[in-house]
A and B are shown apart, each in its own frame.
Chain A
């Protein structure tokens, strides 16, 4: 048995493995998100035109920059698996924490499902006649099960793989950008013809508001870096570095993606296609670029699904460890040092959703859970700073301009909820009802099993005012 710890006559203990560095944190965050440049963001063009997709790229970029800064500060202090769940537990309370963990599990599982569907759709578009449901589902099963096995075998190999495939998928965007000669408009790119004053905002400013829904997909999942908190060698250093570097990478990638796609594809098609970057590669007329983007689309989907399995399992594991769910889920594999029961438990759930849901539904459920979580974060940081002001506990990173990022984040979340309501009002209502029912179950039934004193583990001073 490897790497278990002993303390005198106490029983042997096993915990998650602390082997990760800032590059792994970057690979986890950017790996989860980068697929958003390959599909999803472009549906914003359907809501409001190409210019709306650009405005949203930066507005939602502001939302996620706030998320990354706030997250970096709090998680550099609350370094525990579960990320925002552990933050919510210590700063707000158990009921909020339970809800946040559910948001996390749903956001990442639905994102994993979306990635598997995207990969199957991409392959199907090239496979031609004879590629039936059996083959389509075979691709989905392969993606989910192979990546779950990788996660089962250890976090270091999982995120090493993620680093490589994420870097390749990101480099593909850079290569495509320089291949279309961005310095010479008219040679390949035709932004002036594709985006004109007449069609830039075809539905006016309400179209821009509606586009917030899909704009989230540009960056959805960067907050997933915090799930690695218990497995990084130096949480207070690696998490802020990895998260902020990831956000900078994505802001550049998102802007380049918009520029390439909006310059090659008419807005009506851009808002309709599932593969904007792959289609942009096709539009160049170069088979090399087309196949490069085909490969990169699949790699981006794999990297994202891989990171999502990692994060969903850590959230589920954390719930079990605090007895918010049966403790059975909190088992750590003595050899691989992974939450193996949580990883395997979520596999059939992901497969079931992937076999019955379509891409739009899966993305929307993921977005909804994500935005609920961001709304919590804006409140969370205000409470964190009030209860433990600067100077009372050690912070690995202190985000600037407080409380402006929290206020900006909250306002942008409200706008995004409104945008989701415009397009998917029934799903929004159904999810809110689901979370209310789960909260009632937790409050009136499950909480009796929680060992209340044991769940608050951070060696902090008492909060101000208590």
Chain B
């Protein structure tokens, strides 16, 4: 049974890896690099936590 599970695992892994690569490509070609890398550290702090004592 475990041999079958392992063989199915290879197929599932390959399919998911391909899906991630496809989604990655689709995302990179649908949005600008500027937007994808626009996350900034500390935005949460500025908005949510005022550091008032």
- Residues of A in contact with B (beta carbons under 8 Å apart): 1, 4, 11-16, 18, 79-82, 86, 123, 126-127, 130-131, 134-136, 138-139, 141-142, 144-146, 148-149, 152, 230, 235-236, 318, 320-322, 327-328, 330-335, 340-341, 344, 347, 391-394, 455, 457-460
**Complex contact A142–B36 (CB within 8 A):** no
A/B interface sample: 23 pairs, CB < 8 A: A81-B41, A123-B6, A136-B6, A138-B13, A141-B10, A146-B13, A146-B16, A148-B20, A235-B49, A236-B49, A321-B40, A322-B41, A331-B28, A331-B33, A334-B31, A335-B27, A341-B24, A344-B24, A391-B53, A394-B49, A457-B40, A457-B41, A459-B46
Do A458 and B42 touch (CB < 8 A)?
yes
Knowing A334-B31, A394-B53 touch, does A135 contact B37 (C-beta < 8 A)? no
- B-side residues, CB < 8 A to A, are 2-3, 5-7, 9-10, 12-13, 16-17, 19-21, 23-24, 27-28, 31-46, 49-53
**How far, in whole Å, are A288 and B19 apart by their CA atoms in the complex?**
38
Contact B39 A86 (CB under 8 A): no
User: In the complex, are the beta carbons of A152 and B20 less than 8 A apart?
Assistant: yes
Q: How many A-B residue pairs have CB under 8 A?
A: 141
Name the residue among B6, B50, B53 with the largest chain A CB count within 10 angstroms: B6
Most chain-A Cβ atoms within 10 A of its Cβ — which of B17, B24, B52? B17
Which residues in B have their C-beta under 8 angstroms from that of A80?
A: 41-42, 44-45
A79: contacting residue among B7, B9, B39, B45, CB under 8 A:
B45
A120's nearest neighbour on chain B, judged by CB, is: B6
What are the residues of chain B within 8 A of A12 when measuring CB–CB? 35, 38
CA A86 to CA B44, docked complex, whole Å: 14
Besides A327-B37, A332-B36, 4 other CB < 8 A contacts?
A13-B38, A80-B45, A142-B6, A394-B51
Bound: A188/B6 CA distance, A: 36
**Distance A142 CA – B53 CA, assembled complex (angstroms):** 49
**Which residues on the B side are within 8 Å of A86 (C-beta)?**
41
Q: Contacts A130-B3, A152-B20: A334 and B53 contacting too (C-beta < 8 A)? A: no
Distance in Å from the Cβ of B42 to the closest Cβ of chain A?
3
Select one of A16, A142, A332 contacting B12, CB under 8 A: A142
Q: Which residue of A lies closest to B16 (CB)?
A: A149
Within the complex, the shortest CB–CB distance from B40 to chain A, in Å, comes to 7
A127-B3, A130-B3, A344-B20 known; A393+B53 contact, CB < 8 A: yes
Question: CA of A190 to CA of B38 in the docked complex: distance in angstroms?
Answer: 60
Contact B35 A347 (CB under 8 A): no
Contact among A144, A146, A318 with B41 in the assembled complex (CB-CB below 8 Å): A318
Least distance between A324 CB and chain B CB atoms (Å): 12
Does the CB pair A393–B24 fall under 8 Å?
Answer: no
Residues of A with C-beta under 8 A to B43 = 15
B9 CB contacts on chain A under 8 angstroms:
138-139, 141-142
A139 to B7, CA, bound (A): 9
Question: Once the chains bind, are A149 and B20 in contact (CB under 8 Å)?
Answer: yes
| B51: min CB distance to chain A, Å | 5
Minimal beta-carbon separation of A193 from chain B (angstroms): 35
Q: Which residue of B lies closest to A337 (CB)?
A: B39
Q: Which of B24, B32, B36 has the most CB of A within 10 A?
A: B36
Query: How far in angstroms is the closest Cβ of chain B from A321?
Result: 6
Query: In the bound complex, do residue B38 and residue A14 qualify as a contact, i.e. CB atoms below 8 Å apart?
Result: yes
The answer to whether B24 touches A334 (Cβ under 8 A) is no
> Are A11 and B38 touching (Cβ within 8 A)?
yes
The interface residues of chain A lying within 8 Å CB-to-CB of B34 are 11
What is the CA–CA distance of A159 and B11 in the complex, to the nearest angstrom? 25
- Chain A: which residue is nearest B43 at the CB level? A15
Task: Say whether B42 contacts A457, CB under 8 Å.
Answer: yes
Contacts of A148 in B (CB 8 A): 16, 20
Interface-centre pick from A13, A131, A236, A328 (highest chain B CB count, 10 A): A13
Complex: A1 Cα to B31 Cα, angstroms: 10
Q: Are B42 and A459 in contact (CB under 8 A)?
A: yes
Complex-state Cα separation, A252 to B20, whole angstroms: 39
Q: Do residues A11 and B51 form an inter-chain contact, with CB atoms below 8 A?
A: no
Which single member of A230, A322, A334, A459 contacts B27 (CB below 8 Å)? A334
Among B10, B35, B41, the most chain A Cβ lie within 10 Å of the Cβ of: B41
A145 lies within 8 A of B35 (CB): no
Q: When chains A and B are docked, how far (Å) is the Cα of A460 from the Cα of B53?
A: 11
Chain A residue at smallest Cβ distance from B1: A127
A1 nearest CB neighbor, chain B only = B31
* Bound CA–CA A235/B33 (angstroms): 29
Q: Which residues of A contact B37 (CB under 8 A)?
A: 320-321, 327-328, 330-332
- Determine the chain B residues whose CB is within 8 A of the CB of A146 once the complex forms: 12-13, 16
Which 4 pairs show the lowest CB-CB distances between chains A and B? Answer: A457-B42, A142-B9, A135-B6, A138-B6
Residues of B within 8 A of A15 (CB): 38-40, 43
